[in-house]
Structure 1
Amino acid sequence: MNRFKLSVLLVVVLIVLAFESMAFAKTIRWRMPTTWPKGTILQWSAEFFAKTVNEMSGGRLKITAYPGGAIMGPLEIFDAVTAGTVEAGHGSSAYWIGKEPSAPLFSAIPMGFTAVPYLAWFYEGDGLKLMREMYAKYNLGFVGPCGIIPPEDFAWSHKPITKLEDFKGLKFRTFGFWGEILSEMGASVVTLPGAEVYPSLQRKVLDAAEFSLPNIDRDLGFHEICKYLTVPGVHQPSTVFDLYVSKRAWNKLTPDLQAIVKYACQITSMRTLVRSVWLDGPALESFKKYGTKINYISPEVQQQMAKVANEFFDRKAAKDPFFAKVLKSQREWMKSYKVYRDLMNPRY
């Protein structure tokens, strides 16, 4: 009997050790470089996603989020993920316009969606399906929204901006679709890396510039060198962040870990949005206290900008069938959403 008990005890110990060994062996570690500067809410979003996955998986999938430049250049991450050099990356589709002309439509659309209808288009409409269709030729196992922020500041400037005529000859720092649209309004568009925006405004090499959210712009001190702030950020009513996972890394995950990654992305979008709003209110109040002259673009001028933007998008769509397909889907949803917005959004 004693020998039997000893045998059973040994079997139990061996089983426990085997399970512990398996659990240790199955710990998966991902490196996830981002396109974001250290210390911003943009990088916070990536780090929150990594922390959420680590916690939800019980440590079975551990992701480390590296800010832009820490292990590679911010604009190198997409190629690194598709090549399998790193397992994942966190960025925004607008950065890959050189690869995909339609990519910014999945990131930030001038005169386009605010955050809630944008996410509705992704998850309830055609957005996610069209996004994955665009990225299908790349070596990705997963791609999808993983963070979203509300409207940015429209412009910091040394001169007031109240009408379309004010853009004529204005040396304005921006990029992407909005840069092309502003050029059509007569602005002299300058494309500069983020690190050069503050000194260029300070030296008045630039007349105006757009950069980011109120809380980020406050931390960078734009209110100390510019007299005027123009809002709202109609050029970027919301901005979607993405998660990119290499096919090899994705296929190594069990179905439950894949599900954790998917749902952690959705949680990250919600938390990034509400945190941004929470921080932006006090930032705007601080600008007022500092004495910044804040100008709200009139609805009439916003409509004029929208007309120029829509004509610009129509020309793009005429030359690119996939661009046209995505734009059509977005416009159909926007038309429906406006009915809801106009009837159901309180105005007290």
Structure 2
Amino acid sequence: MRVVKIMFIIMILIMLPFALCTGGAQEKEVITWVGQCQFPAGSIEYDAFKKACDLINLQSAGRLVIKPNSAGSIVAATKQFDAVDSGTLDFALDTSAYWRDKWLVAPLFDMQIAGMSAAEHYLWFLEGGGAELAREMVGDKYNVYITKAAFLFPPEIFLSTVKPINSISDIKGMKIRTAGDDGEVFSKMGASLTMIPGGELYEAMSRGTIDAFQFMSPAGDTSIGLHEVVKYLYLSPVRQPCSMSMVIVNKSKWEKLPVDLQEVVQTSFLSEAWHFYGRVAQADAEAIQKYQAKGVKIGHPPKEVENAMEKLAGEMYKERSAEDPFYAKVYESKRKWKEMIDSVYNKL
């Protein structure tokens, strides 16, 4: 009997390590997320998005597997918010300019005409209450969580055109693709507006469907060949001093994600965001040479056009603030943040 007991104990000791290993393997849950970027495949923006996703895979030690997709792969770039809300996408890198059909104030989280610089805007979002205001805007109506992760962009091209702009009168009747608040300003100048996904701009310009567009910075536009279909490139930070795309996540998926993995998602994107910003700034300078090689005329828009845009935008923002208390809350938050920065540094 004693021998039997001893053998039993030995068997337990032999099997115990295997049991522990098996149990440990079962505890390692692998979570898979499918995401999409608002930018097309081949663009410098999509490459950065993919780098951030790869970093999440690495930093999570395989616990969170991210499957990135370019614009239009699963849903239209302009419908990513709705796809995240419904669960078709687990997350997306998206611009709030595309959410204007839900909230008039939404584009202010992306950019502001004649507003803050890129660094000022990003710091407002991270530390000045911007992210919290974005979450307040979305509220409980949508199953979408606004993270503090975002990609920051240098000033965009003022306008890429096939027609010269020598005065405000040249804007009148021009068919322009735009996605932000500047559309309303261009409209007040007499332009005819349309919204076309970035991936369709090359064909639209080639066919003459539109005369001009704003999309990205020189590096972003040249990465998908848009320098091949324009004759004039107008550069100025007035229309869009910066822009920012946020990482949005299906709220139910976010709440189920362990806290440490939530941090991995946010810090991975924040880390890549600054590297991306530096690469874009350098790439923009290099991209100008591609325009020059194609014979594109490069310059600044007339001062009267810049001044008119700033004036009309200021009037627009004040009118909206008077009509919408929440719009006024966001606008005032940004104004106070910029005022604080200007009082110390003049500009960041």
* TM-score, structure 1 as length reference: 0.88
Alignment partners' CA distance in 2, 1:294 and 1:67: 30
1:129 to 128, 132, 139: 132
1:73 to 72, 76, 83: 76
Aligned to 2:263: 259
Pairwise CA RMSD: 2.5
The CA deviation at 1:204 is: 4.2
Alignment partners' CA distance in 2, 1:169 and 1:73: 28
Aligned to 1:175: 179
Equivalent residues of 2:39, 2:198 under 8 A apart: no
The CA deviation at 1:339 is: 3.9
The CA deviation at 1:203 is: 4.4
Alignment partners' CA distance in 2, 1:326 and 1:67: 31
* Structure 1 residues 65 and 221, CA gap change in structure 2 (3 angstroms): closer
Alignment partners' CA distance in 1, 2:121 and 2:319: 23
The CA deviation at 1:85 is: 3.7
Aligned to 1:240: 244
SS class of match (2:181): helix
Equivalent residues of 2:126, 2:148 under 8 A apart: no
Alignment partners' CA distance in 1, 2:176 and 2:143: 37
Equivalent residues of 2:157, 2:235 under 8 A apart: yes
Is 1:61 aligned to 2:64, yes or no? yes
1:64 maps to a residue whose letter is K
Aligned to 1:45: 48
SS class of match (1:192): coil
The CA deviation at 1:2 is: 7.9
Aligned to 1:120: 123
Alignment of structure 1 residues 190-209 onto 2, 5 Å:
190-209=194-213
Alignment partners' CA distance in 1, 2:284 and 2:144: 34
Equivalent residues of 1:145, 1:240 under 8 A apart: no
Task: Give deviations 1:95-127, integer Å, cap 9, x for gaps.
Answer: 111112211111122222222111110112121
Once the two structures are overlaid, the 10-residue window that deviates more, 191-200 or 233-242, is 191-200
* Structure 1 residues 63 and 215, CA gap change in structure 2 (3 angstroms): same
1:309 maps to a residue whose letter is A
Aligned length: 342
2:160 to 152, 156, 170: 156
SS class of match (1:244): strand
Task: Give deviations 1:269-295, integer Å, cap 9, x for gaps.
Answer: 212212211221110133234432211
Aligned to 1:7: 12
> Unaligned stretches of 5+ in structure 2?
1-5
Is 1:16 aligned to 2:56, yes or no? no
The CA deviation at 1:303 is: 3.7
Is 1:106 aligned to 2:109, yes or no? yes
* Structure 1 residues 92 and 261, CA gap change in structure 2 (3 angstroms): same
Aligned to 1:88: 91
Aligned to 1:293: 297
Equivalent residues of 1:45, 1:147 under 8 A apart: no
2:315 to 292, 311, 314: 311
SS class of match (2:65): strand
Once the two structures are overlaid, the 10-residue window that deviates more, 281-290 or 255-264, is 281-290
* Structure 1 residues 336 and 164, CA gap change in structure 2 (3 angstroms): farther
Alignment partners' CA distance in 1, 2:222 and 2:71: 21
Alignment partners' CA distance in 1, 2:92 and 2:305: 38
Alignment partners' CA distance in 1, 2:45 and 2:201: 18
* TM-score, structure 2 as length reference: 0.88
Task: Give deviations 1:49-74, integer Å, cap 9, x for gaps.
Answer: 21121111111111111222222333
The CA deviation at 1:230 is: 0.4
1:52 maps to a residue whose letter is L
Aligned to 1:224: 228
Aligned to 1:274: 278
SS class of match (1:249): helix
